[in-house]
Amino acid sequence: MTHPDVIVIGGGLAGASTAFAIAQRGGNVLLVESAPGLCERASGNRFGLLTPYIATRSSPLERLYSAGYSWTQSLLKSSFAINSGFIGCGAIQLPSTKRFATLLQEELPLIGASDIRRASARECSDISGISCGQGGFVIPSAGFVSPVSFMKSLLLSVGEKVSVRCATAVTSIEREDSHWSVTCSDNSKFYATSVVVCGAFESNNLAPCSWLPLEPIRGQTVCARSSDCSSSLRTVLCFGGYLTPAVDGEHLLGAHYRHDDENQEPSDGDTDEILKAASRALPSLAFSRSHVASARVCFRTSTIDRVPYIGSLPNFGEMKREAETYRSGTNIREKVRLRQYQELYVNVGHGSRGLLTCPLGGEIIARLIHNEPLDSLQAAATLCEPARVPHRLLTTHM
Ligand SMILES: Cc1cc2nc3c(=O)[nH]c(=O)nc-3n(C[C@H](O)[C@H](O)[C@H](O)COP(=O)(O)OP(=O)(O)OC[C@H]3O[C@@H](n4cnc5c(N)ncnc54)[C@H](O)[C@@H]3O)c2cc1C
């Protein structure tokens, strides 16, 4: 595809679902990924959980996650994701934090998904198939999916509308007249009307995105061989960490969460912590090192306020230059008007809930590019607008 309409940079959950949403509308997309294959970084875990954000009171974040949960669920049920391999086994959330313990005691209706309910310890044990020892929240619609199978099924459904180029890093994006030019590590160059950057924290390597506050957060997961006791697990269990039912004789256990740690290799210490957390919450399982089949490290991307950046990219450089012409004490929010690049978008910063927010982000970007109304996605789109960031940075720096 020499002249795509849109170039999407990054082939994880965000990039692949954005390419899908654009192609669904007839756009020709070039998807460029630096790794040898799709979904090999944060999106490369064996499975990701699709579980809702449980709450009793509505908030902007709760509304974003609820919209994302419904959106991903509807995609998984659609004909576009026939071979996604989603395992809709349901999930049980045990009250691992003070917030969950409070929600469990409250009598207010639960929100986040239409089918969440409180359940006794006995019910949780009966549903999950193993002894839970305490009551919790049951979510029958939840489950888990291999992100790479999910994304490949979406891309398969749009055929040649998306051309995938792996093992190719984008090194620069520049505006040339009315087009964007994208240069890659093998010196190939492509032109398109629109570009969507979905490179997670590495988006900072591309000049127009270098200012976006993005933080990599290390995470480790463990695949553990099932035992006689654990093989009877029927639902996902969340207890601070999480445990999936066994698939091909192995459970996925996760996930470690650590700032300021660049170690790309799994560590025995983190493996032990993950196993200990599971054994503390579910003593009957008693996982030990002898169960461990493999461990994997990857990095989430966090943002300034833990809300993803989805939408048009502000031209921070121009805004900063203008801000520097004013005396200190000037009201920057009033004086410096928002400037945005034309037809340059981002879908990044999905933290620990990319399965909820990446496909929703892709749909929002596709609607923006195609000038379609956002309708029910308007609130999520407004919350995630990258436009919220520049003034915040300028006021802090002045
Ligand atoms: C341990 C762990 C467990 C998790 N568990 C869950 C879970 O259970 N449920 C859930 O919903 N979420 C989970 N998440 C979060 C979820 O995995 C992420 O939010 C999601 O994968 C982010 O997708 P992404 O496409 O933004 O990032 P990535 O998957 O990292 O994709 C970004 C891609 O961009 C590519 N790229 C970057 N720069 C360039 C460039 N210049 N040129 C070309 N390509 C480039 C990278 O190679 C990469 O493949 C977990 C995360 C971690 C770390």
What architecture is domain 6-44+149-214+305-397? 3-Layer(bba) Sandwich (3.50)
Residue 378 has pLDDT above 60, yes or no: yes
Given a cut of 80, whether residue 377 has pLDDT beyond it is yes
Tell me whether strands 136-139 and 117-119 are parallel, antiparallel or unpaired: antiparallel
Q: What is the whole-number distance in angstroms between the Cα of residue 351 and the centre of ligand 1?
A: 8
Considering only the top CATH level, what class is 88-144+216-302? Answer: alpha beta
Minimum-distance ligand 1 atom for the alpha carbon of 353 = 11
Could you report the per-residue pLDDT of 86-101, keeping only the tens digit for each? Answer: 999 999 999 999 999 9
Helical ranges in the chain per DSSP H: 13-24, 60-77, 98-105, 121-128, 147-157, 268-281, 316-323, 332-335, 354-369, 378-384, 389-397
Query: What is the per-residue pLDDT for 396?
Result: 74
Confidence tier at 2 by pLDDT (50, 70, 90): low
pTM over 0.85, yes/no? yes
Report the 10 Å Cβ neighbour count for 350: 29
- Average of per-residue pLDDT across 73-87: 94
Decide if pLDDT at 174 tops 70: yes
- pLDDT, mean of residues 304-311: 97
pLDDT at 329: 82
- What are the boundaries of each domain within the chain? 6-44+149-214+305-397, 88-144+216-302
Look at residue 114 and tell me whether its pLDDT is greater than 80: yes
Cβ distance 193 to 22 under 8 Å?
Answer: no
- Residues with CB under 6 Å of ligand 1 are 9-15, 32-35, 40-43, 45, 48-49, 169-170, 198-200, 202, 205, 219, 221, 254-255, 298-300, 348, 350-356, 358
Give which of 300, 324, 251, 382 is closest to 13, Cα–Cα. Answer: 300
Q: Atom 31 of ligand 1 has which residue's CA nearest to it?
A: 12
Give the position, in ligand 1's atom list, of the atom nearest the Cα of 356: 11
Q: How much helix, strand and coil, in percent to the nearest 5, is found in the chain?
A: 35, 25, 40
Whether the per-residue pLDDT at 295 is higher than 90: the answer is yes
Task: Give the mean pLDDT of 271-291.
Answer: 93
| Residues 134-146, mean pLDDT to the nearest whole number | 98
Question: What average pLDDT score do residues 33-48 get?
Answer: 98
Percent above pLDDT 70 for the chain: 99
pLDDT category of residue 256 using cuts at 50, 70 and 90: confident
Residue 55 binned pLDDT confidence (cut-offs 50, 70, 90)? very high
C-beta of residue 281 within 8 angstroms of C-beta of residue 121: no
Q: Which atom of ligand 1 is nearest to the CA of 297?
A: 1
The rounded mean pLDDT for the chain is 96
CB 87 within 8 A of CB 143: yes
What pLDDT, on the 0 to 100 scale, is given for residue 244?
98
Q: And the tokens for 373?
A: 């109304």
Cα gap 335→156, rounded to integer Å: 48
Res. 45 pLDDT band, cuts 50 70 90: very high
Distance 151 CA to ligand 1 centre (A): 12
The residues, ordered by sequence, that sit 6+ positions from 304 with a Cβ below 8 Å of its Cβ are 213, 389, 392
State both tokens at 320: 């900063």
Per-residue confidence (pLDDT) for residue 53, from 0 to 100: 97
Ligand 1 atom at minimal distance to the Cα of residue 15: 25
User: Residue 322: is its pLDDT beyond 80?
Assistant: yes
Q: What's the 103 CA to ligand 1 centre distance in angstroms?
A: 30
Task: Tell me what the mean pLDDT of segment 196-212 comes to.
Answer: 98
Q: pLDDT at position 33, please?
A: 98
Ligand 1 centroid, distance to 352 Cα (angstroms): 9
